[in-house]
Amino acid sequence: MITHTAVPLSVDAMLDDLRTLVEIESPSGDPIALARSAEAVAGILANRLGGRAVLVEGEAGPHVHWSGGGEPRVLILGHHDTVFPLGTLERRPFTVENGRVTGPGVFDMLGGLVQAIHGLAALEDLTGVEILVTCDEENGSHTSRDLIEERARACGAALVFEGAAEGGGLKTGRKGCGTFEVLITGRASHAGLEPEAGVNALVEAAHQVLCIEAMSRPEAGTTVTPTIASAGTQSNVVPAEATVTVDVRVESGDEKDRVEAAFAALAPHVEGAVIEVRGGVGRPPMPESAAAELFAIASHLLPGIKAVAVGGGSDGNFTAALGVPTLDGLGAVGGGAHADHEYLLVESMPERANLVTGLVTAIQTGLSPA
């Protein structure tokens, strides 16, 4: 039977570490800023857990890897990059007021990272625990995916510290997600003197947008949403080029295959137009079955906590697709991810940190929820 006595934790210490990470600023795609952030993450890991964190250099910036030694049993997974550009902190400084923490990245996902570290620090034995904090999750995890999958396979269980679902629920299912780009090539001509001599890429784009939108199957959980379009250079020139960017979310592998095949089959409607499709569903769906065993343990440790399936993707999609038991949404309780009103609830921090302690203890000792 799983039992866990909550350990007193210092909220002030957690807030100090969170302030350190937030005030560095770590926008995805900025290797210099991410190098500073990675050093800070490594420093906090060493300070709170002992040992030494290793920086894994990559094209996008450094990932941070820490191990408690022994046979790997559980992977603590997070990221230190955020979506906010440098300078956001000046406009939206780290603030603790009325029980809320605000500032760029507090909810997604620096707060969850800090909670995980402090929850682990309450353990006397960290044997079998690995921590991987990547630097490119917000941009698709292109440079970290192989490392994530390698360590998840080695550990056999993954706890993901993305922000909690609404109301503090754990994320037990995620849609697969990806981005497609449809590039259309036409031929320019004078819009007034001889429009018929051109091949209007914008008109072709309009046809393609309607075809793309029709790929959605809401009843199957599939959304295919054109989000960005661009075309043309001057008001009196028939556009020679156009681009349509599309966000795709799917709940199953079959839908992933169907949508990718539909994009590959797109054909021009305007004579002379040429279409090229790039991209795909980069994050596979995270089935709820992948979280079942770990959620059962969590619900014994924190009775009443809810399981929620969400549309957004995370690195948990990768680990779950490998068949590795994965529980997500273990991070901060709050909201406003990627928005100016992003916030974290201070009162939830000790409870969530203690949940980490209990989950890791259960995994280390092989306890089941029964």
DSSP E strand boundaries for 42-113? 54-56, 63-67, 74-79, 95-97, 100-102
Q: Is 223 helix (H, G, I), strand (E, B) or coil?
A: strand
Task: Name the residue among 63, 105, 109 with its Cα closest to residue 86.
Answer: 105
Rg (CA), the chain: 23
Q: At what angle do helices 11-24 and 31-49 cross, to 10 degrees?
A: 160
Catalytic residue chosen out of the listed positions 25, 81, 108, 138:
81
Taking a C-beta distance cutoff of 8 angstroms, is the pair 67, 151 a contact? no
Catalytic residue chosen out of the listed positions 137, 138, 162, 260:
137
What Å distances lie between residue 284 and 142, 221, 315, 322, 346, CA to CA? 13, 14, 10, 10, 33
81 has catalytic annotation: yes
Taking phi over 0 as left and psi of -120 to 50 as alpha, with beta for the rest, 168 belongs to left
For the chain, percent helix, then strand, then coil, each to nearest 5? 40, 25, 35
Nearest-angstrom CA–CA distance, 208 and 269: 8
241 has catalytic annotation: no
Q: At what angle do helices 111-121 and 11-24 cross, to 10 degrees?
A: 140
Burial class of residue 228 (count of CB atoms within 10 Å of its CB; 0-12, 13-18, 19+): exposed
Taking a C-beta distance cutoff of 8 angstroms, is the pair 66, 130 a contact? yes
Helices (H) and strands (E) in the chain, counts: 10, 16
Active site residues: 81, 137
